[in-house]
Structure 1
Amino acid sequence: MEEDDTILQKPLSELIADQLKKRIWNEEMQFGERLLETELAETYDVSRSTIREALKILEIEELVVSKARKGTYVANFTEQDVNEIIELRTLIEAQAFTKAVSRLEKEHIEKLDSILAEMKKRVADKDWNGLFDLDMKFHSYVVGLCGNSRIIKIYDSLQVQIRTFLMHLDKYYSSVESFYQEHADLLEALKSRNVMHVNRQVKDHIEYVEEKLLGVSQNTKVEEA
């Protein structure tokens, strides 16, 4: 089935929820910003009930929060959230990438090569959002090859949270080229079929982000003290 066919089969509320996610990830909507049903209904030319359904989807995915008698807001993304996502990514991806090594076929490598080629184009345009979307595509594809349906299901349930986490990263990478290179290194590790090398490369990739994000956070706290 083509991707366009899948989109056409989605309920309107899901399509609007997807649009709202992109606006949050593009920072057109800020963390903590109040979302007004009336305004959103006018923007998308739909009923308020459709907007409520879309917001409920985002609430389940923990991208928005509903406060009694106060309204609905874009969820804040805290240091605790960062800690938990990094820990989960390390646990899940190190295991999944390792298990995927023995299952890699020529067609899988070709698919990952094509994703990397798309990333290269985004590098030329300095398109961070495009790179983050392709990062998700790359990692999800490898996790999907691990052969453990429960790992895949858990990882799928974290997709929105991980993508929200990624929108912070452009501030901490020295360049789009370095972000791209980390994925090129990951692919080379997978091609080597060396399980220990793959495991180390995945952990290094995630721990680099932890060091940058949490290191900056801790330094800021020291300066404010």
Structure 2
Amino acid sequence: MRVVPSSLHAEVAHALRQRIFDGELEPGSFLDEVALAEAMQISRTPLREALKVLTAEGLVRHEPRRGCFVAEVTEQDLDEIFPVIALLEGRCAHEAALNATDAELQGLQVLHERLARHAKARRINDYYETNFAIHEAIIGLAGNRWLAQVIGDLRKILRLARQQQLRAPGRLAVSLSEHLAVFAALKARDAQGAEAAMRTHITRQREALRELTRDERRKVAG
């Protein structure tokens, strides 16, 4: 993967961020500056600036005299972040119900139909990408840039763990039903109902992740 020099640290940060989200750079892994600079055909200066950006975002942690590592999301991180993002995205759904046009809701309809097809076929990666697009669309329909900014920062951290919850037994079908409940409230212009449904949806994501963690611990213990 080559990054052209003119892109500087912002493009380098984008490339590394995507590799983290795609799982190419795994949580806890060491980020070898020499190897990365050679692979991306750049100098270490924009690479170091990019790593500072990712550190500020919480995707990378810097350890003095050791270097940079891909961040690992802890159970405490999840317990602290999910209630906050449930409140914030719930408010986005509230505002989207009041602000969305009929044409914009039709666009959401298309996304939900796609989501249902992926759920039926159990295409988890495709489901996740469409799920992500739906959340982004609702955030956009809220028309509140402050909400969008804070949610965007938190979602970068949650993206390190969020997709795992779709692998919990029965979670894919439940997630789809939750999404349809949010969408039904949006179509009905039920702001309070949309907010409550979105909060429930996100809270249950945390519950699914917690159950997966318990299952993994049982397997190790057993």
- Does TM, normalized by the shorter one, top 0.5? yes
Task: Tell me: CA distance 1:13–1:115, structure 2 relative to 1, closer, same or farther (3 Å).
Answer: farther
The amino acid of 2:46's aligned partner reads T
The aligned residue for residue 142 of structure 2 is 146
Instruction: Give unpaired runs (5+ residues) of structure 2.
Output: none
Task: Tell me: CA distance 1:177–1:156, structure 2 relative to 1, closer, same or farther (3 Å).
Answer: same
How far did residue 105 of structure 1 move? 0.7
Task: Tell me: CA distance 1:187–1:65, structure 2 relative to 1, closer, same or farther (3 Å).
Answer: same
1:95-135 CA distance string (max 9 Å, x none): 22112211121121022123334435644775434433332
How far did residue 72 of structure 1 move? 0.5
Instruction: Give unpaired runs (5+ residues) of structure 1.
Output: 1-7
1:128 corresponds to 2:124: yes
CA contact (8 A) 1:35 1:71 kept: yes
The aligned residue for residue 202 of structure 1 is 198
How far did residue 176 of structure 1 move? 4.3
The amino acid of 2:205's aligned partner reads V
TM-score w.r.t. length of structure 2: 0.82
How far did residue 188 of structure 1 move? 2.1
The aligned residue for residue 4 of structure 1 is none
1:164 corresponds to 2:160: yes
The aligned residue for residue 74 of structure 1 is 70
The aligned residue for residue 45 of structure 2 is 49
* Identity percentage of aligned residues: 25
How far did residue 160 of structure 1 move? 1.2
Find runs of 4+ consecutive structure 1 residues off by over 4 angstroms: 120-127, 175-178, 218-224
Q: Provide the C-alpha distance between the structure 2 equivalents of 1:152 and 1:207, rounded to a whole number of angstroms.
A: 19
Equivalences for residues 1-225 of structure 1 within 5 A:
11-120=7-116, 122-123=118-119, 126-172=122-168, 174=170, 176-217=172-213
Q: Provide the C-alpha distance between the structure 2 equivalents of 1:147 and 1:175, rounded to a whole number of angstroms.
A: 30
Q: Provide the C-alpha distance between the structure 1 equivalents of 2:97 and 2:144, rounded to a whole number of angstroms.
A: 13
TM-score w.r.t. length of structure 1: 0.81
The amino acid of 2:97's aligned partner reads V
Q: Provide the C-alpha distance between the structure 2 equivalents of 1:138 and 1:193, rounded to a whole number of angstroms.
A: 17
1:170-218 CA distance string (max 9 Å, x none): 3325364544443233222211222332223112211211222224446
Of the structure 1 ranges 41-50 and 138-147, higher mean CA displacement relative to structure 2 is found in 138-147
Task: Tell me: CA distance 1:122–1:58, structure 2 relative to 1, closer, same or farther (3 Å).
Answer: farther
1:112-171 CA distance string (max 9 Å, x none): 123334435644775434433332321122122224332232223323123223232233
How far did residue 20 of structure 1 move? 2.2
